[in-house]
């Protein structure tokens, strides 16, 4: 748990949880300070360590929302499973472990608020907060390798960003004669179209072209991009996503960043995400359209937008309802 570098308050909470030190209803009954051991949220279950660590309905709702946004938080079966499962995640997928710990802490904090003030914050608030505070590595892995059973593996489509965030998907395409295209599309949490672009150049290195697609952001700046709570930049080139992730990590440590990446600091928050090709279809369409001509679309009603793009946009938007 130390390795996760949790905030001191969250670390203290975890420590209390492991050592049966939280003043839960079950705890108070065992110490004969109360005779109501149930969860104050009406979960019809004793509020004990397991309930707080992994079984409260409120925690499940927050995790469900996070997973709807494309994260892969686990649901555990019992306390031991939970502790061991988290231990396994540390190092391998620390951001998820950190998210899980932050979620349980927030849900506990909110439960105390419920008891004292009679109200709780919304699940949306919780989940957005969890994402904002777990961006220590500016990266979350969308690959299926960490969890063997997950809906994501069965259901392969674009995943929306958290509420209040925007997401840029980028892709590159190259022809045998070195004509290359790159493109990107920005959408919000509901899958609503905000902007798309496509550029062509002569180039031979697909990774470099994908990087250009991301750097192209600085030529299409709009106020709404900075007003968003954050931006997730998603591509299917693992190396490029890694390079950007390291650049942001270095910035956090040394406050130094390569000139070409410095525009990223203008956003409220930036995260990089690696996606499977099948989850990056719309950006792929942009990159292929760019081979023929340059474009910037800022309005979905634009006459220039071809039907395949619209069809894919609609399909991915519709599929959000199925998540
Ligand atoms: Zn509960």
Question: Is residue 91 one of the residues assigned to a domain?
Answer: yes
Q: What CATH number does residue 226 fall under?
A: 3.30.420.10
Question: Is residue 128 one of the residues assigned to a domain?
Answer: yes
**Spacing, Cα 51 to ligand 1 middle (Å):** 6
Range of the domain at 282: 154-320
Question: Is residue 87 one of the residues assigned to a domain?
Answer: yes
**Spacing, Cα 85 to ligand 1 middle (Å):** 21
Question: Is residue 146 one of the residues assigned to a domain?
Answer: no
Q: Ion ligand 1 — residues with CB under 5 Å? A: 39, 41, 43, 56
Co-location of 101 and 127 in the same domain: yes
Annotate 152-187 with DSSP letters as a single string.
Answer: HHH--S--PPPTTEEEEEEEEEE-TTSEEEEEEEEE
| Residue 165 clears pLDDT 50, i.e. is over it | yes
Which segments within 175-219 are labelled E, that is strand?
Answer: 179-188, 193-202
Co-location of 56 and 175 in the same domain: no
Question: Is residue 149 one of the residues assigned to a domain?
Answer: no
Q: For residue range 36-72, list pLDDT tens digits in order.
A: 999 999 999 999 999 999 999 999 999 998 888 878 8
Co-location of 176 and 296 in the same domain: yes
Co-location of 36 and 130 in the same domain: yes
Co-location of 237 and 106 in the same domain: no
**Spacing, Cα 46 to ligand 1 middle (Å):** 8
**Spacing, Cα 243 to ligand 1 middle (Å):** 42
The sheet carrying 139-141 orders its strands as 139-141, 270-274, 230-235, 165-174, 179-188, 193-202, 295-297
**Spacing, Cα 81 to ligand 1 middle (Å):** 18
Co-location of 295 and 167 in the same domain: yes
Angle between helices 94-117 and 123-133 (to 10 degrees): 140
CB within 8 A of 28, min separation 6: which ones? Answer: 34, 37
Q: For residue range 216-271, list pLDDT tens digits in order.
A: 999 998 999 999 999 999 998 888 988 888 888 888 888 888 888 989 999 998 88
Co-location of 133 and 158 in the same domain: no
**Spacing, Cα 323 to ligand 1 middle (Å):** 24
**Spacing, Cα 24 to ligand 1 middle (Å):** 11
Share of the chain above pLDDT 70, in %: 93
Question: Is residue 273 one of the residues assigned to a domain?
Answer: yes
The number of domains in the chain is 2
**Spacing, Cα 229 to ligand 1 middle (Å):** 30
What band does 91 get if pLDDT is binned at 50, 70 and 90?
A: confident
Q: For residue range 295-321, list pLDDT tens digits in order.
A: 999 988 788 888 889 888 888 888 877
**Spacing, Cα 40 to ligand 1 middle (Å):** 7
| Residue 13 clears pLDDT 70, i.e. is over it | yes
**Spacing, Cα 38 to ligand 1 middle (Å):** 8
Q: For residue range 108-129, list pLDDT tens digits in order.
A: 999 988 988 888 888 888 888 8
Co-location of 78 and 226 in the same domain: no
Mean pLDDT throughout 124-153?
Answer: 53
Co-location of 124 and 35 in the same domain: yes
| Residue 9 clears pLDDT 90, i.e. is over it | no
Co-location of 163 and 311 in the same domain: yes
Q: Is the dihedral of CA 239, 245, 247, 250 positive or negative?
A: negative
């Amino acid at each position: 748990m130390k390795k996760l570098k949790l905030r001191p308050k969250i670390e203290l909470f975890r420590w209390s949880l492991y050592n049966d030190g939280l003043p839960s209803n079950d705890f108070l009954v065992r110490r004969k300070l109360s005779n109501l051991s149930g969860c104050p949220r009406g979960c019809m279950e004793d509020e004990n360590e397991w309930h707080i660590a992994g079984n409260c309905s409120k925690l499940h709702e927050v995790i469900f929302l996070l997973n709807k946004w494309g994260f892969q938080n686990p649901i555990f079966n019992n306390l031991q499973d939970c502790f061991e499962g988290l231990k396994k995640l540390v190092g391998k997928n620390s951001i998820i472990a950190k998210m899980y710990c932050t979620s349980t802490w927030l849900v506990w904090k909110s439960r105390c608020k419920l008891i004292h003030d009679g109200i709780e914050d919304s699940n949306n608030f919780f989940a957005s907060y969890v994402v904002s505070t777990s961006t220590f590595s500016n990266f979350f892995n969308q690959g299926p390798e960490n969890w063997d059973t997950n809906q994501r593996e069965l259901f392969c489509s674009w995943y929306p960003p958290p509420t209040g965030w925007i997401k840029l998907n980028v892709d590159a395409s190259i022809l045998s004669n070195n004509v290359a295209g790159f493109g990107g599309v920005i959408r919000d949490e509901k899958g609503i179209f905000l902007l798309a672009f496509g550029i062509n150049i002569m180039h031979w290195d697909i990774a470099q072209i994908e990087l250009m697609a991301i750097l192209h952001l600085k030529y299409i700046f709009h106020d709404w991009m900075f007003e968003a709570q954050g931006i997730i930049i998603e591509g299917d080139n693992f190396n490029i996503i890694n390079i950007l992730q390291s650049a942001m990590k270095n910035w956090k440590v040394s406050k130094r960043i390569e000139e070409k990446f410095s525009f990223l600091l203008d956003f409220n928050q930036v995260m990089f995400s690696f996606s499977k090709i099948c989850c990056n279809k719309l950006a792929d369409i942009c990159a292929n359209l760019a081979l023929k001509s340059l474009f910037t679309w800022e309005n979905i009603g634009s006459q220039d937008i071809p039907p395949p793009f619209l069809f894919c946009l609609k399909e991915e938007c519709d599929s959000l309802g199925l998540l």
